[in-house]
Structure 1
Amino acid sequence: MPEKDPQSARWRVARVRRRFVWEIDWNLLRTFTVIVQERSLTAAGDKLSLSQPTISNALRRLEEHLVCHLIDRSSNYFRITPAGETLYEECMAMFEIVAGLPELMEKDRNHISGHVEMAFASHVECPFLDTFLADFHKTHPRITFSTTVSSSRSAAESVLNNEAALGVFLVQEKLDELEYTLLYREHFGFFCGPTHPLFQRRISGFDELRTLDYVSFKTDELSGALAPVAALRKQEQLRGKIVGQFTNLEEVKRLIKAGFGFGPLPIHVVTPDVEAGQLRQLPPYTNPPSVDVYLVTKRTARRTRAQSTFLEALSAAIEATPLESRTYPQSVGDITPAEV
Structure 2
Amino acid sequence: MSLDLDTKFAFRLDWNLLRTFLVISEEGSITRAAHRLLRGQPSVSLALKRLESELGCRLVDRGHGGFRLTAAGRQLQRECTELFSGVARIPEVTQEASTEISGEVNIMLASHVVTPLLDNELSALSAAHPKMRFTIRIDTSARVIHAVRERMVSFGICLVNRRFSDVDYTQMYREFFGFYCGPSHPLFGRSNLSFADLRNFPAVSFDTDDLSDALRPVALLRGEWGLDYEIVGRSSQLEEVRRMIQCGMGIGSLPIHVVEPDVERGLLWRLPPYENPPQVDIYLVSNPKKRLNKAEALFLERLSARIARTPLDERTYLSGPPPASSSGAP
Query: So what's the TM-score if we normalise by structure 1?
Result: 0.81
Amino acid at match of 1:315: S
Quick check: 1:277 aligned with 2:260? no
CA distance in 1, matches of 2:137, 2:192: 39
The separation in 2 between residues aligned to 1:331 and 1:287, in whole angstroms, is 16
**CA–CA distance in structure 2, aligned partners of residues 268 and 51 of structure 1:** 42
Q: Say if 1:186 and 1:291, in contact at 8 Å, map to a contact too.
A: yes
Alignment-derived partner of residue 59 in structure 1: 52
- Match 1:71 to one of 32, 48, 59: 59
Residues 290, 42 of structure 1: alpha-carbon distance in 2 compared, 3 angstrom cutoff: closer
- Aligned partners of 1:80, 1:168: CA distance in 2, in Å? 25
Of 260-269 and 300-309, deviating more is 300-309
Does the 8 Å contact 1:32/1:59 carry over to 2?
no
Query: Could you tell me how far apart the structure 1 residues matched to 2:63 and 2:171 are?
Result: 43
Deviation at 1:147, TM superposition (A): 0.9
With over 3 angstroms needed to count, the CA separation of the structure-2 counterparts of 1:39 and 1:222, relative to structure 1, is closer
1:146 aligns with 135
Q: 2-side partners of 1:84 and 1:183: how far apart?
A: 34
Identity %: 42
Tell me, in whole angstroms, the C-alpha distance in 2 between the residues paired with 1:150 and 1:285: 29
In structure 1, the partner of 2:245 is 256
* 2:91 paired residue among 102, 121, 126: 102
Offset at residue 303 of structure 1 (A) = 1.9
Superposed displacement of residue 297, structure 1: 1.9
Q: 1:246 to 1:84 in 2, by over 3 A?
A: closer
Paired residues of 1:246 and 1:252 also in contact (CA < 8 A): yes
CA RMSD after TM alignment = 3.1
- 1:155-174 equivalence runs, <5 A: 155-174=144-163
Residue identity matched to 2:53: R
CA 1:75–1:275 in 2, change beyond 3 Å: closer, same or farther? closer
Q: Distance in 2 between matches of 1:134 and 1:43?
A: 30
Seen in structure 2, the aligned counterparts of structure 1 residues 219 and 36 have a Cα distance that, compared at 3 Å, is closer
Alpha-carbon distance in 1 for matches of 2:58, 2:269 = 54
Specify the SS of the correspondent of 1:225: coil
Structure 1, gaps ≥5 residues long? 1-11
SS in 2 for 1:202: coil
Deviation string 1:223-257 (CA, Å, 9 cap, x unpaired) is 12111111111111213222222111111111211
Q: Give TM-score, length-normalised by structure 2.
A: 0.83
Indicate conservation of the 8 Å contact 2:235/2:241, yes or no: yes
Moved more, 155-164 or 116-125: 155-164
- Which deviations, in whole Å up to 9, do the C-alpha atoms of 1:103-157 show, x marking residues without a partner? 3344461011011111111111112221222222233222111211222233333
| Structure index of larger Rg | 1
Q: Distance in 2 between matches of 1:217 and 1:42?
A: 25
